[in-house]
């Protein structure tokens, strides 16, 4: 069976809006990562970016199961000795609620230039408003 190679000019990229209110973080992130990669399309190729644009609203209302809100840690390193800083998921949700979902999706994409390109198609916002009305996005139920 041959792999189909869709020319770049023929790739159709749709815009979708996802409401993250009362959705579990991991389940939501895995579905968004699949849509960003384009694995739901029949012309999927692992070496090409054929995915759609995803706009997520109400990112501050996402849920975490179990004790993850208090136990899950997020780490950053400044590059200097002793420069490791850590934050609990609860603190990240209070300070930057969009960062929680963005990091979850980033961990599910490939760790190369293709994954970085796909992550740029994810737009995360707090609240129910977004500035992408001109693209006429469709609602996506997850």
Q: What is the CATH number of the domain that holds 54?
A: 3.90.1180.10
Q: Give residue-wise pLDDT tens across range 9-22.
A: 999 999 999 999 99
Examine the pLDDT at 5 and tell me if it is beyond 90: no
Q: Provide the whole-model pTM.
A: 0.93
- Residue 3 belongs to some domain of the structure: no
- Residue 115 belongs to some domain of the structure: yes
- Residue 122 belongs to some domain of the structure: yes
Looking at the 3D structure of the chain, how many domains does it have?
A: 1
- Residue 114 belongs to some domain of the structure: yes
DSSP for the chain, please give it.
-PPP---GGG----EEEEE-TT-BHHHHHHHHHHHHHTTTSTT--TTS----EEEEE-GGG-B--TTHHHH-EEEEE-SSTT-EEEEEHHHHHHH-HHHHHHHHHHTTS-SSHHHHHHHTTEEE-SSS--S-GGG-PEE---
């Amino acid at each position: 069976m041959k792999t189909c190679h869709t020319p770049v000019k023929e790739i159709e990229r749709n815009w979708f809006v996802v409401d993250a209110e009362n959705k579990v973080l991991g389940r939501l992130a895995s579905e968004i990562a699949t849509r960003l990669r384009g694995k739901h399309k029949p012309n999927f190729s692992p070496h090409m970016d054929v995915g759609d644009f995803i706009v997520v609203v109400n990112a501050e209302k996402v849920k975490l199961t179990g004790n993850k809100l208090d136990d899950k840690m997020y780490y950053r390193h400044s590059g200097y000795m002793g420069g490791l800083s850590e934050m609990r998921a609860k603190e990240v949700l209070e300070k930057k609620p969009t960062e929680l979902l963005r990091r979850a999706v980033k961990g599910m994409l490939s760790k190369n230039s293709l994954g970085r390109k796909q992550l740029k198609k994810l737009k995360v916002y707090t609240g129910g408003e977004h500035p992408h009305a001109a693209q006429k996005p469709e609602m996506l139920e997850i």
